[in-house]
Amino acid sequence: MGKYIEDAKNLLEYVGGKDNISAVTHCMTRMRFVLRDESKADKEKIESLSCVKGTFLQAGQFQIIIGNTVSQFYNDFISVSGIEGVNKEEVKDAAKSNMSWIQRLMANLAEIFSPLIPAIIVGGLILGFRNIIGDVKFFEDGTKSLVEISQFWAGMHSFLWLIGEAIFHFLPVGITWAITKKMGTTQILGIVLGITLVSPQLLNAYSVSTATEIPFWDFGFVQINMIGYQAQVIPAILAGFVLVYLEKFFRKITPASISMIVVPFCALIPTVFIAHAVLGPIGWKIGDIIAQFVYAGLTSSINWLFAGFFGFIYAPLVITGLHHMTNAIDLQLMAQFGGTMLWPMIALSNIAQGSAVLAMIVLQKNDEAQKQVSIPACISAYLGVTEPALFGVNLKYGVPFVCGMIGSGIAGVISVASEVTANAIGIGGLPGILSIQPKSMPMFAVAMLVAILVPFLLTLVAYKKKYSLDKK
């Protein structure tokens, strides 16, 4: 008999029974349910189980935080329930029936960028490390960087750009691949399409503004500029979806005996033509408008208001899943302006929510059961993953969540008012300073200190006050 059999039996009852479960799977720390009627799930009873560290509803899924032993719990649950488990993709598809159109849009956007996040984080850390060794004057009375006094580090600085360029300049390849992977079409065609957007044959996107002459393809009746879309997000997304739908269309109407030849040919060639003739210029313009709008907000005379608002609402955006749209905006800002002032505020929000949890650890220092949830959640938030902190602690008690939002808003104002800029997206939370441009690091450190102290102190005071009023 498994270790969690009794808890699994109780959980089955508390989620509304076998008939209320459309699908179930698990990830690294959570059970993920798609329920037919979410109102039948008794959250209070579920959270009373000794192995459960919290519950929340996200992306059409009822998720239950178990921890590192979730795979064992899942096996026992499948055993007692008699339900056949499914993979995470099938659960996501089932969950979309519970979503609004905007939630489905954000879920699709998240699924495109999720496979790219590890590479983007590595790229951000690499660029941050190159900043430190190449731009910060640590040596010879503050006149030279490590690269300037060491041939080894000069070589390393040059070598690491090989990886950074592959990740960010050739990002469209990853995006078009991720779209074909998500939509279940031929992934190698997505990779080929992405390469056609960044081919060395094309004029580099970063050189367009200074080029005296733009090369073009001459088809007689029309000329198409030979411009690359290095680091561009929206042109790659638009082209990727055109490829997907053309492939599905031709696969549907083509006999199976010749589909291997006809489908790739008829899907890829028109897509590449459309991408360079129509979608690329349109996508570039859309991206430019979005980037200009955000940049204007970050650099205007009321940038403090923009920063305070964004810093305050970022944690609620995480709950809804809408935060995934910031990846595309950050990447566009990086491509267009050489850095992003938006991402530092995201890192500060992570820190602020972690600091609110830290205050709860202090307040509940004698509650061993709660500390099993709070301590890992705090560490996770400080390293850039806030879901355990948000759903396991801060939303549960309310006060720390709001205090974290306030601290994030204040830290965001300091960051933007000081023009703190990141070269790239990196690991959120405390390690985020590695992705900040060297000249901005001191003020980002100040903003980090605010993001630590303000939520921590506010939570201590506000929670004690609330608790004392509740006792009366």
Q: Which residue has the higher pLDDT, 357 or 104?
A: 357
Domain identity same for 15 and 157: no
Residue 24's pLDDT band, with cuts at 50, 70 and 90, is confident
Instruction: Tell me the three state secondary structure of residue 424.
Output: coil
Q: Which amino acid is at 463?
A: Y
CB 15 within 8 A of CB 83: no
pLDDT tens digits for range 87-124: 555 555 555 555 565 556 666 666 777 788 778 777 77
Question: What is d(CA 35, CA 95) in angstroms, rounded to the nearest whole number?
Answer: 8
Domain identity same for 184 and 235: yes
Domain identity same for 246 and 311: no
Q: Does residue 105 belong to any structural domain of this protein?
A: no
Question: What is d(CA 383, CA 379) in angstroms, rounded to the nearest whole number?
Answer: 6
Domain identity same for 27 and 147: no
Domain identity same for 326 and 455: yes
Question: What is d(CA 353, CA 411) in angstroms, rounded to the nearest whole number?
Answer: 12
* Percent of the chain at pLDDT exceeding 90: 32
pLDDT on residue 88? 53
Q: Does residue 292 belong to any structural domain of this protein?
A: no
pLDDT on residue 293? 83
Question: What is d(CA 438, CA 422) in angstroms, rounded to the nearest whole number?
Answer: 9
Number of separate domains in the chain: 3
Domain, as residue range, for 444 = 300-471
Domain identity same for 382 and 423: yes
Highest mean pLDDT among 18-32, 269-283, 290-304, 364-378: 269-283
Domain identity same for 93 and 120: no
14-18, 239-243, 292-296, 425-429: segment of lowest average pLDDT: 425-429
Instruction: Tell me the three state secondary structure of residue 2.
Output: coil
User: Is it the case that residue 154 has pLDDT exceeding 60?
Assistant: yes
Both tokens of 136, joined, read 């910060």
Mean pLDDT of the residues in the chain = 84
Question: What is d(CA 76, CA 66) in angstroms, rounded to the nearest whole number?
Answer: 13
Domain identity same for 279 and 318: no
Q: Which residue among 287, 312, 329 closes a domain?
A: 287
Q: If DSSP states are collapsed to H, E and C, what string results for 166-197? A: HHHCCHHHHHHHHHHHHHCCCHHHHHHHHHHH
Domain identity same for 247 and 325: no
User: Is it the case that residue 38 has pLDDT exceeding 70?
Assistant: yes
CA distances from 269 to 26, 193, 198, 242, 245 (A): 40, 9, 16, 11, 13
Q: Considering the entire predicted model, what is its pTM?
A: 0.67
User: Is it the case that residue 261 has pLDDT exceeding 60?
Assistant: yes
Q: Which residue among 65, 99, 133 closes a domain?
A: 99
The CATH number linked to 37 is 3.30.1360.60
User: Is it the case that residue 142 has pLDDT exceeding 80?
Assistant: no
Q: Give the list of residues 6+ apart from residue 47 with CB closer than 8 angstroms, or none.
A: 54, 55
Domain identity same for 310 and 243: no
Q: Does residue 197 belong to any structural domain of this protein?
A: yes
Q: Which residue among 70, 99, 128 closes a domain?
A: 99
Q: Does residue 35 belong to any structural domain of this protein?
A: yes
**Residues with catalytic roles:** 27
Q: Which of 8, 107, 34, 27 is nearest to 65 (CA)?
A: 27
Domain identity same for 359 and 241: no
Q: Does residue 356 belong to any structural domain of this protein?
A: yes
CA-based angle 114:386:346, to the nearest 5?
A: 75
Q: Does residue 459 belong to any structural domain of this protein?
A: yes
Q: Does residue 108 belong to any structural domain of this protein?
A: no
Domain identity same for 120 and 81: no
Q: Does residue 295 belong to any structural domain of this protein?
A: no
pLDDT on residue 381? 85
CB 221 within 8 A of CB 214: no
